[in-house]
Structure 1
């Protein structure tokens, strides 16, 4: 049985999931597992992970620029003002995933994001508090050891839903946490595991053991 590592022509062993697709490999090497601290960027990634539900991430990745164009650069202040006419226009936009429930959830989530921002200290702090401000380090050696959700992702999901966010179940939230570096879920043998382990969380806080 495969451990979940793929040896690439450049000599680097990588996690199995990007395969050999150049776009996917670049995402794996430069974004996935890198701690993200920017409020707006975190909102964008959470929304895109919600759109991924039922689909593969590469489907979303190939449309990311289309999503950014359609959703005003993922500026929550702009999205929060979207009305019924804008929703109908988005339902005709072939550059995104045309799912009415997910589009409407994006608008509600923008309003929830703004409410969190208004009361401070911000969306990034709200999310990173679930891991005490430090990236969690995992030690999975095979793909079978990586869970689809955890107690932390369940707690975060519950809190986000209470704020008014949509499409943020525990599995979606766990994938989000992996992507934005709240935990380092690169397999131990992956060439990105050690570099990501050295990256700090918000405020320069080091990785949690």
Structure 2
């Protein structure tokens, strides 16, 4: 199992080793001992799954605020997605910056999106199924977001990203400059 980090501290891509033969392959997708070595003090409490029927479907950018802030381990079970994490930690040298990974069942890769990051994705193929393993239960009261197309963040979305697929909630998310300070580097160091 390989753990790839980024120029932005926090997110981690988890890439399992696949052992294959003429029948197919076997891969360890998650091992608590190895994961906790790279992402300490993490306990998952809920698994979620979503389906994006159309290619180009945009979901996000979402996060939950304290006291229900969530870390997410995201995996694509069918299709492919362009997965994004945006640093929302005030005081971070990479505040407002983003990273992306293409997740697919062929690669069996996953993206760890820690507390303090917004998360979103664009489906690259029809019928993309996404699995989220999260560290806090869903809380409607703490469910927040930031505009997927904020020019201050300037995510380079795939060409097929279709704004017509946005949910009503995602069409009205605030820009980064309008976002209250939900996370700070000092708070997260103590968490």
For normalisation by structure 2, the TM-score amounts to 0.25
Say which one has the larger Rg.
Answer: 1
Structure with the higher fraction of residues in helix conformation = 1
Structure with the higher fraction of residues in strand conformation = 2
For normalisation by structure 1, the TM-score amounts to 0.24
